[in-house]
């Protein structure tokens, strides 16, 4: 029996003009369908209102605002069910006086070691449109490695961000949500008490997900960027407190429709990330020797990956590539492209060669802290974390020296939205009716 595997695209309905405005100000427009500044066909100046929220990119570059996407679905035999690669395109205007279709709305929240992130979206044909987004650096795991507990200051920052998320979810009357917490809450002795406080003060009930679930959500969120001609891909997500590695093996075809998650051969969650590593070795002053020590520590942990020997052989045979869905790799891509400000449209899906990745990593290791702060793709919020991220990536690359790396500016939240909508069979229902809502 054929199942509804989920969408093949993710539509984000912000116009190019709105995106340009958001990127200039470092802010995200709350409702991308509404276009401020016009009334009765006339332009008018107005002050920014509360529909704008500054988006702090925590484990990613600053000012990553929504972007309009049009579907460019790529048929990957045996890999149906992932959001497909999409290219930017301005949305098509609706006919004048046409009724506006709204909802249902779905919400996905990811409270990580470094970030608190939220997406709210509504289904569209074989995809979804993001109507609201929020991201703020909270550094929930700050000091966790030394004390084993979440600090009072970190919990306060997280709760303030979660209150904003709760208000957004309530204002949209979201019908289904998935609200997850990851490594910091998994590790902390007071993690359960913190989540109870979150429930009491914000009304949000967060689920602490397993490491396996976190890895699978990352695959669901960005798996469509896997090259269908490759023999496999090594997907990685370098987080604040943990780093996930997933081997996607494409060498043997599978009959019938299958999600890309069905091609996972092996996975591991390494017990370190950019926050924990930078706290241990320092983040502002990182000489080459310290960088190499970090790389060596990560390299020792790679033996934890099940079937690591088989992966070594698969990489040596050729045809594999890496797929990165972390702020580290999107930062490297933005720097390589020479972006004056971070632009998701330029970064998501871009390919980098091994030489290009090495060049940017070497450049960053040789750049002092203030130089990293001044880089528009890093900023002060991440300047003390990016070298640790580079060390983790460099350990991956030295163990598995593939020539190509693809960059994904998407991840857990998109994976949760795909899963929620697929469970509700929203695309199955859409295919079962014609454009007038009648059974086809």
Average pLDDT over residues 74-92: 33
pLDDT band at 344, cuts 50/70/90?
confident
What is the rounded CA–CA span in Å between residue 256 and residue 264? 16
Q: State yes or no: pLDDT of 416 exceeds 70.
A: yes
Q: State yes or no: pLDDT of 99 exceeds 60.
A: no
What is residue 86's predicted lDDT score, i.e. its pLDDT?
A: 31
Q: Cα–chain-centroid distance for residue 52?
A: 21
Q: Which helix (H) or strand (E) holds 253?
A: none
Residue in 120, 178, 115, 130 with CA at minimum distance from that of residue 385:
115
Intervals of CATH 3.30.420.150 along the chain: 222-410
Inter-CA distances, 386 with 300, 333, 369, Å: 21, 13, 10
What is residue 256's predicted lDDT score, i.e. its pLDDT?
A: 57
Q: State yes or no: pLDDT of 23 exceeds 90.
A: no
What is the rounded CA–CA span in Å between residue 175 and residue 153? 32
Intervals of CATH 3.30.420.40 along the chain: 11-36+60-211+413-427
Topology of domain 11-36+60-211+413-427 in CATH is Nucleotidyltransferase; domain 5 (3.30.420)
Q: Give tens-digit pLDDT for 228-256.
A: 899 999 999 999 999 999 999 999 877 65
Neighbours of 318 (CB within 10 A): 10
CB 67 within 8 A of CB 82: no
* DSSP secondary structure letter of residue 200: H
What is the rounded CA–CA span in Å between residue 409 and residue 329? 9
Q: Is pTM, for the whole model, over 0.85?
A: no
Q: Give tens-digit pLDDT for 161-218.
A: 999 999 999 999 899 999 999 999 999 999 999 999 999 999 999 999 999 999 999 9
What is the rounded CA–CA span in Å between residue 150 and residue 139? 10
pLDDT band at 440, cuts 50/70/90?
very low
Topology of domain 222-410 in CATH is Nucleotidyltransferase; domain 5 (3.30.420)
What is the rounded CA–CA span in Å between residue 57 and residue 382? 9
């Amino acid at each position: 029996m054929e199942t509804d595997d989920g969408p093949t695209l993710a539509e984000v309905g912000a116009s190019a003009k709105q995106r340009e405005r958001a990127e200039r100000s470092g802010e995200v427009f709350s409702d991308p369908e509404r276009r401020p500044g016009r009334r009765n066909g006339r332009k008018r100046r107005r002050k920014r209102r509360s529909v704008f929220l500054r988006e702090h990119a925590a484990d990613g570059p600053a000012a990553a605002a929504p972007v309009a996407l049009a579907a460019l679905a790529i048929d990957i035999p045996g890999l149906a069910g992932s959001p497909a690669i999409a290219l930017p395109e301005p949305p098509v205007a609706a006919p004048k006086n046409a009724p506006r279709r709204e909802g249902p709305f779905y919400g996905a929240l990811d409270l990580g070691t470094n970030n608190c992130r939220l997406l709210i979206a509504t289904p569209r044909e074989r995809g979804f449109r993001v109507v609201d987004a929020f991201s703020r650096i909270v550094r929930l795991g700050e000091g966790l490695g030394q004390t084993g507990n979440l600090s009072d200051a970190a919990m306060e920052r997280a709760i303030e961000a979660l209150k904003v998320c709760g208000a957004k979810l309530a204002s949209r009357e979201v019908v289904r949500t998935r609200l997850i917490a990851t490594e910091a809450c998994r590790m902390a002795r007071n993690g359960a008490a913190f989540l109870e406080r979150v429930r009491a003060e914000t009304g949000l009930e967060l689920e602490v997900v397993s490491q396996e679930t976190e890895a699978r959500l990352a695959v669901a969120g960005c798996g469509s960027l896997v090259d269908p001609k490759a023999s496999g891909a090594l997907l990685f997500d370098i987080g604040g407190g943990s780093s996930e590695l997933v081997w996607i093996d494409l060498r043997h075809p599978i009959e019938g429709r299958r999600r890309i998650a069905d091609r996972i051969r092996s996975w591991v969650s390494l017990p370190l990330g950019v926050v924990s590593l930078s706290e241990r070795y320092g983040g502002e002053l990182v000489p080459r020797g310290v960088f190499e020590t970090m790389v060596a520590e990560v390299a020792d942990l790679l033996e934890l990956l099940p079937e690591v020997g088989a992966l070594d052989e698969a990489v040596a045979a050729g045809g594999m590539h890496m797929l990165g869905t972390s702020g580290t790799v999107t930062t490297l891509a933005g720097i390589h492209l020479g972006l004056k400000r971070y632009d998701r449209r330029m970064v998501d899906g871009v390919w980098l060669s091994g030489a290009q990745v090495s060049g940017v990593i070497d450049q960053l290791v040789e750049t002092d802290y203030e130089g990293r702060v001044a880089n528009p793709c890093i900023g002060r919020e991440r300047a003390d974390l990016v070298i640790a991220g580079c060390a983790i990536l460099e350990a991956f690359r030295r163990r598995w020296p593939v020539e190509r790396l693809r960059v994904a500016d998407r991840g857990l939240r998109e994976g949760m939205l795909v899963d929620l909508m697929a469970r509700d069979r929203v695309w199955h229902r859409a295919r079962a009716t014609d454009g007038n809502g009648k059974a086809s």
